[in-house]
Amino acid sequence: MQSTLKKLIGVVLLSMMHVHLNAEEGLDAEKLAYFRQLPKAELHLHLGGSFPKNYIYSLSTKEQQDELEGKLKLLEQGLDYHEAFSIFQLIGRIVNTEEKIQKGVEALCVALREDGVSYVEIRTGLKDLGNGLEEYLHAVLRGMESKVSAGFTPKLILSLQRHSSLESARATIDLAIKYRERGVVGIDISGDSTIGDIETIYAELLRGKDAGLSYVVHIGESPREADQLKLLEMLQPVRVGHGVHLSEEARSWIIRHSIPLEACLTSSVLVRMIDHYSEHPGIQLFRQGHPVVFCTDDPLLFSTTLSKELLLAHELGGLSLEEAERVAKEAIDFSLDRSCN
Ligand SMILES: [Zn+2]
């Protein structure tokens, strides 16, 4: 009877941790400090979901702050994968000029540095804020370049979506090629993975590939994705993001080609891809010796940091402290910046 009670208490505690997993007080402060001081590589982070909260608030009206706070609270309780995308639209309405983008990138770099991140690949889709896509790109690059130091290297990945227009894909590929020397290291396929058909922009993606661009793809975010194997075979990505709901063929392909998996644990729990940290397929793949990196996805949306994700991989994902540290140290080997590996 006592052991049943203990089990019950365990389940209740686990579900409480599930809800409050991003509250710092629930984490071991000493271990968190340990992960903070480790030099780390963050390889999966979207700019729109990563601006520091105090920076967003400095630009917001009271109504916008309340709206954002409300949406973040909903996310903390676990949101549907599709609903999570509405926050990006709100953030886009707040950070709506090139100057605000540049300052936001600078604030993000400072926050990453404070968390001990020494190398980051920031992802963003190009936007026209009134002065064209290239001006937006300049703003992001200026923000990054102003924060480069001996201990901090930021790089940029340009994002496209499965349903991006041909025109947008063409412009993005052109600019990615043009700005390689200034730190653009690849192309990401992201957005709602259940919308759109990659065929529309495939020729452009192939042109980028022929020009030497590397690809990372979001895959397995939803069991409703129909194009997994096709996407992998077409783009031969250097890394894959999430990989939670993989078809058997896609999973075999990723294992056969030893493609590192970017596991974003808190993100996957909060958008209800999985119920608990330990269920993430990245944990299982790690146990099989497959290369896995832990990433935040969107630190603002999921109230997380890379140090917290590593600690959670240890506390809730079942990795030993040494294993989590090893994963953190090896992440840089999977960067798209060829000068790093
Ligand atoms: Zn992502």
The answer, yes or no, to whether residue 295 has pLDDT greater than 60, is: yes
Q: How confident is the model at residue 20 (pLDDT cuts 50, 70, 90)?
A: very low
The answer, yes or no, to whether residue 9 has pLDDT greater than 60, is: no
pLDDT tens digits, one per residue of 73-129: 888 887 666 667 788 999 999 999 999 999 999 999 999 999 999 999 999 999 999
Contact predicate 22/308, CB 8 Å: yes
Query: How far is residue 33's CA from residue 116's CA, in Å, rounded to a whole number?
Result: 10
pLDDT tens digits, one per residue of 55-69: 999 999 999 999 999
The CATH number of the domain holding residue 298 is: 3.20.20.140
Alpha carbon distances (Å) from 187 to 147, 165, 217, 218: 22, 15, 8, 11
- Answer yes or no: is 17 within a domain: no
Q: How far is the CA of 45 from the centre of ligand 1 (A)?
A: 7
Q: How far is the CA of 99 from the centre of ligand 1 (A)?
A: 24
Mean pLDDT value of segment 219-248: 91
- Answer yes or no: is 12 within a domain: no
Q: How far is the CA of 67 from the centre of ligand 1 (A)?
A: 23
- Answer yes or no: is 53 within a domain: yes
- Answer yes or no: is 14 within a domain: no
Residues 6+ apart with CB under 8 A from 123: 44, 45, 46, 47, 156, 157, 158, 159, 188, 190
Full residue range of the structural domain in which residue 200 is found: 26-334
- Answer yes or no: is 162 within a domain: yes
- Answer yes or no: is 10 within a domain: no
- Answer yes or no: is 19 within a domain: no
Q: Name the domain count of the chain.
A: 1
Q: How far is the CA of 162 from the centre of ligand 1 (A)?
A: 13
Q: Check residues 103 and 27 and name the one with the higher pLDDT.
A: 103
CA 19 to chain centre: 21
- Answer yes or no: is 2 within a domain: no
Q: What is the pLDDT of residue 193?
A: 74
Q: How far is the CA of 5 from the centre of ligand 1 (A)?
A: 39
